[in-house]
Amino acid sequence: MFKKERNNEVHAVIMEEITAVENCMRSFENFIRAASSRVTDDDTLKMLCDDVCKKEDVADKTLRKMIDSLVGTSFLPSSREDLIAIASSCDKVANKCEYVTLMAVHQHFRFPEELAESLLKIITITHKQFDKLEESISMLFAKFNNMLKDHAILDEVRALETEVDVIEQALYERIFQMDMDLAHQMQLSNYVEALCDIADIIEDIADKIQIMLVTRKN
What CA–CA distance (Å, rounded) separates 7 from 69? 9
Q: What are phi and psi of 176, to 5 degrees?
A: -80, 5
Confidence (pLDDT) at 198 = 97
Please compute, for residue 108, the number of CA atoms within 13 A of its CA located in the half-sphere on the CB side: 3
Break the chain into its structural domains and give their ranges.
Answer: 5-214
Q: Residue 127: which of 95, 102, 152, 161 has the closest Cα?
A: 161
- Report mean pLDDT in 10-residue bins for the chain, 218 residues: 61 93 96 92 95 97 92 84 93 96 94 94 96 93 86 95 98 96 95 96 96 82
Contacts of 168 (CB under 8 A, 6+ apart): 122, 192, 193, 196
Contacts by 181-184, CB closer than 8 A, 24 or more apart = none
Burial of 83 (0-12, 13-18, 19+ CB in 10 A): buried
The predicted pLDDT at position 148 comes to: 86
95 phi/psi in degrees, rounded to 5: -60, -40
Cα–Cα distance, 196 to 107 (Å, whole number)? 20
Q: CA-CA distance, 160 to 11, in Å (whole number)? A: 25
5-214, what's its fold?
Methane Monooxygenase Hydroxylase; Chain G, domain 1 (1.20.58)
